[in-house]
Amino acid sequence: MEIRQLRTLIALVESQFNMSRAAEKLNLVQSALSQQLNRLENELGAKLFIRKGKRLKSLTTVGEEVFKQATIVLSAINNIHSVGKEYTERDFGVLNIGTTHMQARYILPPVIKLFSQLYPDVELQIHQGTPQQLVQLAMNYEVDFSICTEALAGNSQFTLIPCYQWNRSLIVPPEHPLADKKNISLEDLCDYPIVTYVAGFTGSKRVLETFKQSKLQPHVVLSAADSDIIKSYVREQMGIGIIASLAYDRKNDSDLKCRDLGELFPWEITRIAYPKDKYLRKYQQVFIQLLLKQVSKHGSESGYFCLPEEKVMT
């Protein structure tokens, strides 16, 4: 059995059994991909795939177990390579970070600056995506770890490090009726068109659930994944904005009034995640430590808080 056969199997499953996509991922022609899979089946003496005509549709029961074990084997191989590089190229390499736009824009810049000073020969690559995409990137070892809020809680396949907790704020033009209202309620928010995050990003699901639990129907007129886009449309008076508090920049957003909504919505936890069996190189560990120190030292000034997970409000 060859490692490339296991890589072929994993690539095919990750490509949802699309042969052309899997072949492209492995830089192979489809005929070579088919040969690798046929050899693996012949060597094992068992059918790994459920077929419909010539097309592969899914894994058999045996195939599912082989896929599970292949993933473990390739994970171990990746770890062995990482151990070797830790001793031969200790301060060299590439650090791949999976993250959302919010983390990349508002949290990571000072951490990356300091890390680059400590490790000038380590290249940093930021991979942005939805929380679901970031989980998959980490699971596939395409990033060293992912940083996000949704899609991680309770995932038993990952080592999860609580990073910080955050809530939301209202942003409006200074002349808006809610700009100086003493106590803002959910009912008040429902009186105006709302601009906020698109489904699946930055706790948007829990915002809508909160309204629903109070039997209220907010009037969301525009959704976006990017906090800066939300601010732009609030400036255009499309509606009131509900954003993560840490996305409000006192200097650059001084033309907007920011009101804390932490008493209205559940608090969220942003976590750092990587597969439980992953070997972390020293510089990867240092980056995580720098990030945790950054949020612990400066978080309360920027609209988020670093607290032990058991103290986080839910």
End-to-end CA distance of the chain: 49
Single residue among 85, 102, 125 that ends a domain in this structure: 85
As for how many domains the chain has, the answer is: 3
277 and 305 housed in the same domain: yes
Rounded distance between C-alpha atoms, residue 120 and residue 115, angstroms: 8
Give the structural domain span for 68.
3-85
The encoded tokens of residue 25 equal: 């991922």
Report pLDDT for 184: 95
How far apart, in whole angstroms, are the C-alpha atoms of residue 224 and residue 243?
Answer: 10
Tell me: do 74 and 153 sit in the same domain: no
Residues 127, 183 share a domain: no
∠ at Cα 268 (267, 271), nearest 5°? 150
Q: Give the per-residue pLDDT at 310.
A: 38
Residue-wise pLDDT for 144-203, tens only, equals 999 988 766 666 788 899 888 899 999 999 999 999 999 999 999 999 999 999 887 767
Give 26-33 contacts, CB < 8 A, sequence gap 24+.
33/8
Element (H, E) at 96: strand 93-99
pLDDT one-digit tens code per residue, 58-115: 899 999 999 888 888 887 888 788 788 777 777 888 999 999 888 899 999 999 999 9
Q: What's the CATH code of the domain at 100? A: 3.40.190.10
CATH code at position 56: 1.10.10.10
Q: 166 near 305, Cβ under 8 Å? A: yes
Do 256 and 179 share a structural domain?
yes
Domain end among 56, 85, 114 = 85
Instruction: Please check whether residues 22 and 65 belong to one and the same domain.
Output: yes
- Whether residues 29 and 79 share a domain: the answer is yes
